Amino acid sequence: MEEKKDKVIFILGPTAVGKSFVSVSLAKKINGEIISADSVQIFKGLDIGSAKVTKDEMGGIVHHAIDICEPEDSFTVFDFVEYTKKKIKEICARGKLPIVVGGTGLYVKALTQGFNFGGVDKDENLRQKLEQIADEKGNDALFEMLKEKDVSLAEKTDRFNRVRLVRALEIAFSKGEKITSSVEFESLLIVLTKPREELYQAINVRVDKMIEDGLVQEVEGLKRRGLSEENQSMHAIGYKEVLAFLDGKIAKDEMISLVKQHSRNYAKRQMTFLRGMKDVHMVDMQNVTDGLMEVEKLVGEYLKK
């Protein structure tokens, strides 16, 4: 008999379409927990520019994949898939429904369709042995092992990050087999949309509010911390433009105009990507009440199957 798969709801869509409101409302109705699929909200300190959901907006719903990395860290698609698969299992084990929410298309595609990461397969036995060594002798023991096995890989690996050390050793010990992610759950993919002009207007208003709420000051603080355009987190829209302004490369008016333009362009790319995915259900959010009702109807029918 085939094992019953966990069910996962995806609420997707471009920036500023209303994903946070819809997902929180839905989570309250179906006893859900939310996993963010946003490549910027994972970073601590990148709050205003990522439109990170606030505690009040969370409405008491548990949110995952927010503030899980320092802004100096790097975070890959592989990291997201590994993290999210684990969270899905944990949420389902608690008798709740996972709701994945976001607009980072590659994250969603890798999670729902599988992905070839070009690395090597996981070796659980090796991982357990390495974890045991780290428990007994500390991360330095793993780092010394890695240096002996692959000096160049050791130079690229944070000696204080156990997860990265274990993964690097796994690669160093491997024979180079490719790693692919498998899909271990059923999913309902809902994409929220709005008429283009209305969406673009919402984006422009959001950017103005970000500036008003202190986006420039937020980036100033990150810059004082030592972050620069070389960091992954600072590649995000809103952050790279403000950095350019703070470095005297562009004027403030141009910076604001570029954040709006780049955000609109990104929203267009998001919608193109999401429309190209298989088995997606499009829901028009021009009328929020009607859109929410349609989402709840789709989810209700899916859960009854």
Examine the domain organization and report whether 292 and 253 are in the same domain. Answer: yes
Query: Hey, is 184 helix, strand or coil?
Result: coil
Domain assignment of residue 143, given as a range: 124-177
Q: What is the pTM of this model?
A: 0.80
Element (H, E) at 43: none
Question: Does any domain span residue 129?
Answer: yes
Examine the domain organization and report whether 272 and 191 are in the same domain. Answer: yes
Examine the domain organization and report whether 251 and 173 are in the same domain. Answer: no
282 pairs with which residues across the strands?
A: 191
Question: Does any domain span residue 1?
Answer: no
DSSP-derived secondary structure letter, 232: G
Examine the domain organization and report whether 155 and 205 are in the same domain. Answer: no
Examine the domain organization and report whether 249 and 113 are in the same domain. Answer: yes
| Domain end (from 177, 207, 222) | 177
Question: Does any domain span residue 92?
Answer: yes
Examine the domain organization and report whether 44 and 169 are in the same domain. Answer: no
Examine the domain organization and report whether 13 and 113 are in the same domain. Answer: yes
| Domain end (from 141, 161, 177) | 177
Count up the domains in the chain and report the number. Answer: 2
Question: Does any domain span residue 142?
Answer: yes
Sheet containing strand 6-12, strands side by side: 63-64, 32-37, 97-102, 6-12, 185-193, 280-284
The enclosing domain of 18 has a CATH number of 3.40.50.300
Examine the domain organization and report whether 97 and 189 are in the same domain. Answer: yes
Question: Does any domain span residue 234?
Answer: yes
Cα separation of 101 and 34, whole Å? 7
List per-residue pLDDT tens for the chain, 305 residues long: 556 899 999 999 999 999 999 999 999 999 999 999 999 999 999 999 999 999 999 999 999 999 999 999 988 888 899 999 999 999 999 999 999 999 998 899 889 988 765 555 566 777 888 888 888 888 888 888 888 887 877 887 888 888 888 878 877 777 555 556 678 899 999 999 999 999 999 999 999 999 999 999 999 999 999 999 999 999 999 999 999 999 999 999 999 999 999 999 999 999 999 999 989 999 999 999 999 999 999 999 999 98
Question: Does any domain span residue 209?
Answer: yes
Q: How many CB atoms lie within 10 A of CB 209?
A: 12
Question: Does any domain span residue 95?
Answer: yes
Examine the domain organization and report whether 167 and 280 are in the same domain. Answer: no
Cα of 54 vs its chain's centroid, Å: 16
Q: Which of 279, 98, 106, 95 is nearest to 185 (CA)?
A: 98
Question: Does any domain span residue 266?
Answer: yes
Examine the domain organization and report whether 74 and 219 are in the same domain. Answer: yes
| Domain end (from 177, 194, 212) | 177
Examine the domain organization and report whether 59 and 144 are in the same domain. Answer: no
Examine the domain organization and report whether 94 and 112 are in the same domain. Answer: yes
Distances (CA, A) of 183 to 78, 91, 108, 233, 280: 13, 17, 11, 28, 16
